[in-house]
Structure 1
Amino acid sequence: MTDAVRRPTPADPMPGLESESGLPSAVIRNLPPELGPDAVAVVEGRTFMISDATGDIPEGTIGGLVHDDTRFLSRWVLRIGGAPLLLLSSGTVEDYSAAFFLTNPGIDGIQANSIGVRRQRFIGDGMHERVTLECFANKAITFDLRLSAGADFADLFEIKDSIPDRSQTIVRSHGSHGTHLDFSYRNGTFRASTRVEAVPPASRTEGDDLVWQVTLEPGQQWQCELTVPLQFGALQVTPKHRQFGEVFDGVREDAVSVWSNECAELRFDSELLRGVLDKTKADLAALRIEKSAGGVPIVLPAAGLPWFLTIFGRDSLISAYQTIVAGPSLARGTLLALASAQGTRFDDFRDEEPGKILHEIRSGELTQLNQKPHNPYYGTADATQLWLILLSEYWRWSGDDDLVRGFRDNIDAAVRWIDEYGDLDGDGYIEYATRSAQGLGNQCWRDSWDGIKFADGTIPVLPIATCEIQGYTYDARIRLAELADGPLGDPALAHRQRTLAGELYDRFNRDFWIEARGGYYAVGLDGEKRCIDSMTSNMGHLLWSGIVPPERARIVANQLMSEAMFSGWGVRTTSTEDEGYNPIGYHAGTVWPHDNSLIAHGLARYGFRQEANRIITAMLDAATYSNYRLPEAFSGYDRPYGRLPVPYPTACSPQAWSAGAPMLFVRTLLGLEIRDGRLVADPLLPVEFGRVAMDGVPALGTLWNVEATGDTASVRLAD
């Protein structure tokens, strides 16, 4: 068959039991119970380290130092006199650094609390840890300080599931003078190695332990520095953090500084807004991925810590959309990176099709040896449309005609995918169905194994066409027509896209609308073209896309803000009236900040500003209970039930599209849009937020200053 007529055939009639990771959700290991509720994580780009509150990584836990999807440290335990240290306090300093304050228990000849221990840790060009000891005893003391290290080189997918024993194939070649520990591993073409460097050298090496014999006089300090260097690929930009003074001074000279410097200066009367937006900028900086495209450094957001610290099509695109008001660099980097890996062929193992934008990229052993399909994996039915939507939004805010024209081949390939390969049965809707034995069953944003189900809890058959994907497709066609009228200079393309958008609008509103329960949109159509009748937050995405007729918008808004959908902290993913509702089910009743940011923006688009503000203020209130950070999701319990947001037990934190949500909230509050070659504002700020000012908003090749209070605003060109 030719590419033009070939239609992939789903191999599996039912959704696979996979989560976003591609692993069976029933065996995903939780975080952080194994390390305690106060586990500490530091992150920088594609590298993270998770330990318990004392800074230790006990063997056999999910903790470790992970870089590029491989665990380079699986054990990292500090002991004095063979005894575990006692915690005084610990936590992150910045997203990429942490400090641990500890002391000793009573050991032979040394009373408890005689030794102050400080561990400082940061992630940069490697993992760096400084251990400082101080003697508070009234006489000289001598003791052994022991660091036990280990590397199992587990693939990230294995850390979340079960880890094979590689011990017989790991080679140790430790320095004889206590200067370093070396671990190396090879499996076919996959190679990995870990070196632990120590300054000063240890007094001796015992197995995989470095042991210092330390003698301290009263008041004396002793210090050692431990380094685990990391290798960065040719297309990766090495982080600049190499010294403790540099990292704790917050010096940045990498690509993320370009984005940070271009961001508007935000000034708020509200301490709440100030705290949340400061945390947003810090988290997005920590979660960035730096790459080179055509020799030019670019930056784009990774999805989230710990399991999704990589490029995700959908997550990265939505995060970049949320933050476009702060500056175009994240959007530009995301567009370039995803375009460079756009699908070019049919590959059932990877669910790849020509023109399709990827779902996820991994680089661990299982992927490199083709045991996992993630190099890259294309199992998503919405990233292609979201790429077109982000391209349009980037162009509206930047006026960058040249970039749009440079993407012409990518645009044509994306349109062809939507027209020919995304519609599996020719009914005019974009459906999904995995063809890979390891593929995702659900390939929409609710991509857990039971993310899409009927109101009675039963699982639909493939292929599935979810409602929000049709909304994204409609929006992508409308926006593409605008680009065709503008920088692409293609009237025929503009006419065709508007015609197809109009046909989709009519067909969708006929087939997806359900009159029961007061009226709402089905979450999808299953393989037998039955309406999947769950009432879900996906309806709010339809408002964001603009596919809802004005006469139905009020009905949708009322449903979203009903007691069954709105928890008091945000809109739930699933109505409490559905039998499948579960307040701690991943997509079955939880509250997702990114979901709510799109819903609020959609409500405001249709004029429901008070409803949008109610969501925004609830979300921002929730952030105060987690140090101004919005995690991946909250449990869906009603606000009066616990009087504080109940955490979802395994939520990613930080996560890019949750970190980006407050920026879209601010844009929605201010009503910021590009119209007729100008940045305009139409604010509706709650009284408690007072004045909001944004100085140096980058738009249309220049900078703008915005100031707003209540429903009044001034927008002017910056000096």
Structure 2
Amino acid sequence: MDYQVIKEGDLFILTDQNGDITANDENGHGLYTKDTRFLNRMEIFIDGEKPSRLSSTASKSYVASFRLIKEEKDKGAIEILRDRIIYDGVLYEKISFTNFFPSRASFDFSAAFDSDFQDMFIVRKYRTGEVGAIVGRKAGENFVSIQYQGADHVIRETAIIWDSKEAKIDSKGNIQLSIALEPQEMKSVYFYIVPSIDGQKGTVLSFDQAYRQLENSYEKWYQETTKAVTDSPVFNELYQRGSQDLRMLMVDVGYGETPVAGLPWFAVPFGRDSLITSLFMLPLNPGKVKGTLRTLAAYQGLKADTWRDEQPGKIMHEIRFGELVTTNQSPFSPYYGTVDSTPLFLVLMAEYYRWTGDLSLVEELRPNILKALAWIDDAIKQRGSDFLTYHQEAEKGFPNQGWKDSSNSVVHESGEYGVSPIALAEVQGYVYQAKKGLAPIFHLLGDEKKAAQLETEAETLKAAFENSFWMENEQYYGIALDRSQQLVKSVTSNPGHLLFSELPNAERQNQIAKRLLADDLFSGYGIRTMSTNAAGYYPMSYHNGSVWPHDNAMILLGLSRLGYKEESGTIISSLLEASKSFEYQRLPELFCGYGSNIGYAVPYPSTCSPQAWAAGTVCVLLQAMLGITPDALKKKITINPVLPKEINELTAEGLRIGSGAISVKIVRRNENDLNVDIIENTTGYAVICLAGNPAVLR
């Protein structure tokens, strides 16, 4: 990547590879919280010049380090090490200087800071609007601060604090310090940047104390989540990276922690992204998804509002907190223009119960569940269709409202774009899965009428779908129906999600599984979003030929649940191989759809990294290798494992299911024979093993 980014809570910093934020930079570098840029400049100088970079790293998701030098050729250098963390709403920067000249060296260090308080949408050139102004600047012995009053009358402030008593503010407003060091002597200067909104701000600790507490919070995360180790260093690194990134991407806006979509531009709760990521996180720890369900329930639509594409019962797409939103110049407060968040909310609720047996959360959110179901039914009736469709109502909203939300993602064989209202294939699968999954839960709650209604509606939808979406010549489903109920016949990855929904019958499941791994869809590094034979195919397209790890993970969930071991193993292997091509072995949001014959996965030109559902993909790899399917309704756990060719041994410890945990070890004895050892089972559920020896409890 050509940037470095770290995040903690809802504060994140995006800089260049030197660690600097340069004024008037076009890349949007800055320190952000609540969709506002609190620093638009942070640069350091030695004797008035920028030092040169030796290296930079954010190998730990929550720490950035930059090694710089100011050198005199063949004489020596001053080394500058910048260590950066964020904790409790404060940015900490430790700048250490070491003299590598053979004699005493003196130099002037200076640091320049500024704040423009621009709304995230303005920074990204996504929106313009009427905004506030800087209303004051203050300076003290060891601080400067900049105050801004927004058009929303909110006071936003950035305080820059330093620890050196010798540092002074020069005529340009920069912080200046003269330093003298003996050979190999080191000196450190500490800066603390504190954003505040109407006086609300974090507490400044010492750098070391903040670092310890940050490290402790990650250690607590690891203790509370599933441990997974294999004989493959590639998987082990990918799993550790994914778990660490998921921890970094969590945020609490008042209803419990939920994953934001991704950095740098989507560090806020989403509907679809947060729900799919949470779905993936169930094998990591199902308790970690409660915050997502509560957050989205709290922001559930209350009224009909075309400005925000809101309807009663609808689950939001995205929420923002910046000045343009708080002054109603942007509809993202929240914005509801998504067709799949509402059924996915219900799918996650049903899957959460399958993993935990926790009826209390179902009962707590029962009103929200009923409202979401009512929105789905009302939306179908209002369009006069058998299917859930979308159509943009908000003037500043999105024209395409499925997960492939780019303007060209629904394209006919002719190359023409589908015209809304559009019914997406995978969305009908989500609706089917939601109703099918919730029916037995309503039975447990004593609402037999609702349970029977959901079962009937699910089967009616299934029959209508099979009649309308199947492409006989392709032996595959089309991506969508358009406004005229015409089938959009492009071959895409979307129907692969139907396997997880278990909507297709057994014969068509086989045909989908086979088709997904055909050469035109499968790149060798994963399943492409669109067939290479389709009219809209382009390997560098955002949605029409690229490879998205989360898309593959959704497909993998279905293949695994339905017992397609060979296909599951192939996809797992492909994603493990692709991960080798990316920095820190971090799966990005997407990458280009070129074939694996070129020898490496080609990065997409602009992509979120780290990104939540890409990070969560590794949890699905673990779940698929274990072949684990909990069922709280029947008090059983099914294990039907598959190990890809790169892995011969897997141990997973502390998978939280039911009221306890299960630990499993899988060892390959020969090509087609896996031995399954149940090391621990305190779940209270029976274990049914469909491979190798019968499960043995030690």
Shift, 1:246, TM fit: 4.1
Question: Deviation digits for residues 95-137 of structure 1, max 9, x if unmatched?
Answer: 121111111144xxx9874211111111112111111112222
- Give the distance between the partners of 1:638 and 1:247, measured in 2 at CA: 45
Given that residues 259 and 329 in structure 1 are in contact (C-alpha distance below 8 angstroms), is that contact kept between their aligned partners in structure 2? no
Match of 1:489 among 438, 446, 469: 446
1:658-715 deviation per Cα after TM superposition (whole angstroms, max 9, x unaligned):
1111111111111101243132311121353122112221111111121112433233
Q: 2:538 aligns with which of 573, 582, 588?
A: 582
Counterpart among 82, 87, 94 of residue 119 in structure 1: 82
Question: 1:343 is matched with which residue: 298, 301, 306?
Answer: 301
The higher relative CO (CA closer than 8 Å, separation ≥ 6) is in: 1
Q: Quick check: 2:32–2:39 contact (8 Å CA) kept in 1?
A: yes
* Structure 2 counterparts to residues 48-447 of structure 1, below 5 A: 48-61=12-25, 62-106=28-72, 113-125=76-88, 126-161=90-125, 169-175=133-139, 177=141, 179-201=143-165, 202-231=167-196, 242-246=205-209, 248-249=211-212, 251=214, 259-293=221-255, 298-447=256-405
Tell me the amino acid that sits aligned with residue 592 of structure 2: S
Identity %: 34
- 2:466 corresponding residue in structure 1: 509
CA contact (8 A) 2:301 2:313 kept: yes
Deviation at 1:350, TM superposition (A): 0.8
Provide the C-alpha distance between the structure 1 equivalents of 2:284 and 2:447, rounded to a whole number of angstroms: 31
Q: Is the 8 A contact 2:152 2:326 kept in 1?
A: no
User: Kindly tell me: are residues 353 and 257 of structure 1, through their superposed partners in 2, closer, same or farther at Cα, counting changes over 3 Å?
Assistant: farther
Give how far 1:250 is off.
Answer: 6.5
Q: CA offsets per residue over residues 433-472 of structure 1, 9 Å max, x none?
A: 1111111111110011222222333222111111000010
For residues 127 and 375 of structure 2, what CA distance do their matches in structure 1 show? 38
Given that residues 104 and 114 in structure 1 are in contact (C-alpha distance below 8 angstroms), is that contact kept between their aligned partners in structure 2?
Answer: yes
- Conserved 8 A contact 2:85-2:92: yes
Alignment partners' CA distance in 1, 2:463 and 2:349? 25
> What SS does the corresponding residue of 1:266 show, helix, strand or coil?
strand
- Contact residue 45 and residue 302 of structure 1 kept, 8 A: no
1:463 aligns to 2:427 (yes or no): no
Shift of 1:307: 1.0
CA pair 367-257 structure 1, distance change in 2 beyond 3 A: farther
Q: Could you tell me how far apart the structure 2 residues matched to 1:402 and 1:53 are?
A: 48
Task: Go from structure 1 to structure 2 and tell me whether the alpha carbon gap of 1:168 and 1:530 turns closer, same or farther (over 3 Å shift).
Answer: closer
Deviation for aligned residue 1:204: 2.7
- CA 1:525–1:208 in structure 2 vs 1: closer, same or farther (change >3 Å)? farther
Counterpart of 1:316 in 2: which secondary structure?
Answer: helix
Q: Does the 8 Å CA contact 1:180/1:198 hold for their aligned counterparts?
A: no
Counterparts of 2:75 and 2:507 in 1: how far apart (Å)?
72
Q: CA deviation at 1:217?
A: 3.3
SS in 2 for 1:429: coil
Structure 2 CA distance for aligned equivalents of residues 529 and 602 of structure 1: 27
TM-score where L is the length of structure 2: 0.91
Query: More displaced, 554-563 or 316-325?
Result: 554-563
Pairwise CA distance, 1:519: 2.0
Q: Which range is displaced more, 159-168 or 558-567?
A: 159-168
Distance 1:60 1:443 in 2: 34
SS across alignment from 1:384: helix
Aligned to 1:134, what secondary structure does the other structure show? strand
- Rounded Cα–Cα distance in structure 1 between residues aligned with 2:630 and 2:454: 22
* Paired position in structure 2 for 1:499: 456
Query: For this pair of structures, how many residues does the alignment match?
Result: 670
Deviates more, 1:466-475 or 1:93-102: 93-102
Contact 1:570 1:619 in 2 (8 A): yes
Amino acid at match of 1:210: I
In the aligned structure 1, how far is the partner of 2:229 from the partner of 2:168?
53
Cα gap change, 1:85 to 1:581, in 2 (>3 Å): same
Name the CA distance, whole Å, in 1 between partners of 2:380 and 2:518: 34
CA offset digits 1:601-635 (Å, max 9, x no partner): 21233332101110111101111222221110011
Matched, 1:539 2:495: yes
Q: What SS does the aligned partner of 2:567 have?
A: helix
The amino acid that maps onto 2:528 is R
Partner Cα separation in structure 2 for residue 206 and residue 464 of structure 1? 61
Kindly state the Cα deviation for residue 207 of structure 1 after the two structures are TM-superposed: 3.0
Which amino acid in the other structure matches residue 539 of structure 1?
P
The equivalent position to 2:639 in structure 1, one of 675, 681, 696, is 681
Q: Which residue is 2:591 aligned to? A: 634
Q: 1:519 to 1:697 in 2, by over 3 A?
A: same
Q: Give 3-state SS (helix, strand or coil) of 2:112's partner.
A: strand
Q: Does 1:666 align with 2:622?
A: yes
Counterpart residue type for residue 513 of structure 1: W
* Cα distance in 1 between the residues matched to 2:236 and 2:365: 37
For the structure 1 residues 546 and 165, does the alpha-carbon distance in structure 2 shift closer, same or farther, using more than 3 Å as the test?
closer
Q: Is the 8 A contact 1:537 1:571 kept in 2?
A: yes
CA distance in 2, matches of 1:165, 1:311: 23
**Counterparts of 1:559 and 1:287, CA distance in 2:** 34
Task: Compute the displacement of 1:143 (Å).
Answer: 2.5
How many Å separate the matches in 2 of 1:60 and 1:130? Answer: 25
Amino acid at match of 1:505: K
Structure 1 residues 560 and 629, CA, compared in 2 at 3 Å: closer, same or farther? Answer: same
367-376 vs 158-167, which deviates more? 158-167
Q: Whole-Å Cα distance in 1 between the matches of residues 346 and 316 of structure 2?
A: 13
Contact kept? 2:594, 2:602, Cα under 8 Å: yes
SS of equivalent to 1:138: coil
Alpha-carbon shift at residue 377 of structure 1 (Å): 0.8
Q: Report how far residue 552 of structure 1 moved.
A: 1.4
Q: Note the C-alpha offset of 1:233.
A: 9.4
- Contact in 1 for aligned 2:563/2:640 (Cα 8 Å): no
Cα 1:148–1:456 change in 2 (3 A) is farther
SS of the equivalent of 1:661 reads: helix
Write the deviation string for residues 336-355 of structure 1: whole angstroms up to 9, x where unpaired: 11111111111111111111
| 537-546 or 325-334, larger mean C-alpha shift | 325-334
Is the counterpart of residue 693 in structure 1 residue 658 in structure 2? no
2:86 is matched by which residue type in structure 1? Answer: I
Post-superposition shift, 1:594?
0.5
Deviation string for 1:30-77 (max 9, x for gaps)? xxxxxxx54211122322111111111112221111111111111111
Q: Does the 8 A contact of 2:75 with 2:101 survive in 1?
A: no
2:267 aligned counterpart, secondary structure: coil
What one-letter code is carried by the residue in structure 1 that aligns with 2:373?
A: V
Q: Which residue of 1 aligns with 2:523?
A: 567
Whole-angstrom distance in 2 between the partners of 1:212 and 1:570? 53
Do the aligned residues in 2 keep the contact of 1:135 with 1:219 (CA within 8 Å)?
yes
